[in-house]
A and B are shown apart, each in its own frame.
Chain A
Amino acid sequence: MVQYSQAHIDASFGALSDATRRGVLEQLGRADASITALAERFHMTLTGMKKHVAVLEQAGFVSTEKVGRVRTCKLGMRGLEAEAAWIESYRQLWAARFDDLDLVVEELKRKEKANGCK
């Protein structure tokens, strides 16, 4: 089970290690898109984009559905989690920064008050 999980983590990291694939996830976070549209957007061949989508699909970040002749991609369950997690990590960084900023500003407030009392 540990090995299975390790393999799964490796698949996740592999899937996210590529800037284009992160871009595809980001794109799908806003709207579903066909492989053709993704290929055009990222200036690559249909074959190249198919490979990227396959990697993302295997790791659970993307799910695809073929309707007629068009294969549509959307965020998979883990893709949604990853997007939420990324925004949350950004928010946490800023919350931590502002918490420390509060301390600096409190100190400035005290200094200003002390100077005002002179």
Chain B
Amino acid sequence: MDVSKESDTNPTGVERKSERELVVTRTVNAPAHLVFEAWTKAELFRRWWVPRSFGVTLLSCEMDVRVGGQYRLVFPHEDSTMEFFGTYLEVTPHSRLVWTSEEGDGGKTITTVTFEETAGKTLVVLSDLYPSAAAVETGSTNAMPEALEQLDELLVSLESGVEAE
């Protein structure tokens, strides 16, 4: 893939830890309390959770970041809307967040994020534990429908590659 445009940023790693678990890692060049703030304040969170490059705007973003608190994200989807929601299970300031994603049919996905500060930089490790192996592929909050659409696009480009030969 095109990595050149990411060369001035820290690398993003994705690893499939098990049949139900995907893990994302990235270092952020800032102390953990600031990174944590960006993950827990709705007005900051909504500025990056849906990357600008996706061309989609969140319609609303409500986050009650405390144990047992709920969140709800609303996206425009075709002519309607699509909602993502769940509950915070753990909130440990500056070091750990755990929440559920409950919009899927096949059960809850549990997301655990840890923030580990070393020398002013923060290693962010995010783990998505899906309810089943099949749910990993169908995606959820963290993959968003775009992930599958991108797969489709990639397949189309593979196909057109064949056609061009």
Residues on A facing B (Cβ under 8 Å):
1-2, 5, 8-9, 12-13, 16, 19-20, 22-23, 25-27, 30, 78, 81-82, 85-106, 108-109, 112
Residues on B facing A (Cβ under 8 Å):
1, 6, 9-10, 12-14, 16, 19, 22, 24, 26, 28-30, 34-35, 37-38, 44, 47-49, 51-54, 124, 126, 132-134, 136-138, 143-144, 146-147, 150-152, 154-156, 158-160, 162-163
- A/B pair count, beta carbons within 8 Å: 133
CA gap between A9 and B159 in the complex, in Å = 7
Contact among B14, B37, B150, B152 for A108, CB-based, below 8 A: B37
Chain B interface mostly:
helix
CA gap between A39 and B124 in the complex, in Å = 39
A89-B150 contact given A5-B163, A12-B159, CB 8 Å threshold: yes
Contact between A92 and B1 (Cβ–Cβ < 8 Å)?
yes
CA gap between A86 and B26 in the complex, in Å = 19
Contact between A8 and B159 (Cβ–Cβ < 8 Å)?
yes
Contact between A100 and B34 (Cβ–Cβ < 8 Å)?
no
Contact between B146 and A85 (Cβ–Cβ < 8 Å)?
no
Contacts of A9 in B (CB 8 A): 155-156, 159
A-B contact pairs, 16 of them (CB 8 A): A9-B155, A13-B152, A22-B134, A22-B138, A23-B132, A90-B147, A93-B147, A98-B48, A98-B124, A99-B51, A100-B48, A101-B48, A104-B47, A105-B30, A108-B37, A108-B44
- Shortest Cβ distance from residue A105 to the other chain B in the assembled complex, whole angstroms: 4
- Shortest Cβ distance from residue A37 to the other chain B in the assembled complex, whole angstroms: 14
Nearest A residue to B138 via CB reads A19
Contact among B12, B22, B154, B162 for A85, CB-based, below 8 A: B154
Nearest B residue to A13 via CB reads B152
